[in-house]
Amino acid sequence: MLNNKRLLFILPLTAFLLLSSFLLSGLFSEPRYEVSTTVDKPLPPFALPDVMEPNKIITQNDLLGEPLLLNVWGTWCVTCAIELPYLTSLRVDGIKIVGLYIEQDLDPDFGAKGLTEIQQDIFTTLSRLGNPYSFNIFDQQRDYSLDLGVTGAPETFLVDAQGIVRVHHVGDLNEMVWKNKFEPIYATLN
């Protein structure tokens, strides 16, 4: 009888405490986007110019043949500047990196830059922080970023030789992220 009473006291209390701690942790969790819809699917088709040579059109077929990193970036993006030196060291280690370049302002009425100005900015930034890119695809209208499910810069995709996306990483790519998230999968691709 006494045991039963104690149980009647303890059970609701534990249930209450469990529920409270669950709800409390919810208060501090960040409801951010973490699903990636592109992983294990082929890159969506595109035909976009090279930002440095606008007459050259690049398509998804130009990315086939060897595994590579597709890195979404812009000279205006602060975090991208932080990851550029590390990405450059990856290139030195023999990893192919292709840039998907996006601009912040699209509307010419609100300070959108001309192409020569963009090229100049890219040149200056890469000379200063290192150039990890084989070439840069210019996503002028940011339509292709939308197709890839990009939420902002920087984001990085690991694409295998057949053009299948294997990893989608939101945020900067540093040594820890490379070791934990990219390298194990990259190692199986060669």
Partner 1 sequence: MQRLIRIYMKALPTLIASGLLFAISVSIAAQEAVNQDNESDVATEKYEFESNAQRALFLELSQELRCPKCQNQNIADSNAMIAEDMKRKVHQLVQQGSDKNQVINFMKQRYGEFVHYKPPVNQITIWLYLIPAFFILLAAVVIASKKKTTLNKEIDEETLKRAEQALKDNE
Residues found near partner 1 in the complex (CB under 8 A) = 30-33, 35-37, 104, 142-143, 145-152
Q: What six digits make up the tokens of 8?
A: 């009647």
Give the nearer residue to partner 1 in terms of CB position, either 22 or 33: 33
Hey, how many other C-beta atoms are within 10 angstroms of the C-beta on 82? 14
**Minimum distance of partner 1 from residue 62's CB (angstroms):** 22
How far apart, in whole angstroms, are the C-alpha atoms of residue 187 and residue 19? 43
Q: Are 81 and 129 in contact (CB under 8 A)?
A: yes
Q: Give the whole-angstrom CA distance, residue 17 versus residue 10.
A: 10
Nearer to partner 1, 41 or 56 (CB): 41
Q: Report the amino acid identity of residue 190.
A: N
Which C-beta is closer to partner 1: that of 60 or that of 104?
A: 104
Cβ of residue 66: shortest distance to partner 1, in angstroms? Answer: 26
Minimum distance, C-beta of residue 188 to partner 1, in the bound complex (Å)? 25
- Closest contact distance (angstroms) between CB of 110 and partner 1 is 11
CA nearest neighbour of 74 among 139, 7, 30: 139
Instruction: Provide the token pair at 173.
Output: 């790519």
Our CB check for partner 1 shows the closer of 130 and 163 to be 163
Residue nearer to partner 1 on the CB measure, 38 or 136:
38
Alpha-carbon span 179 to 61, nearest angstrom: 28
DSSP code at position 50: B
Smallest distance, Å, CB 120 to partner 1? 22
Note whether 169 and 181 are within 8 A (CB): yes
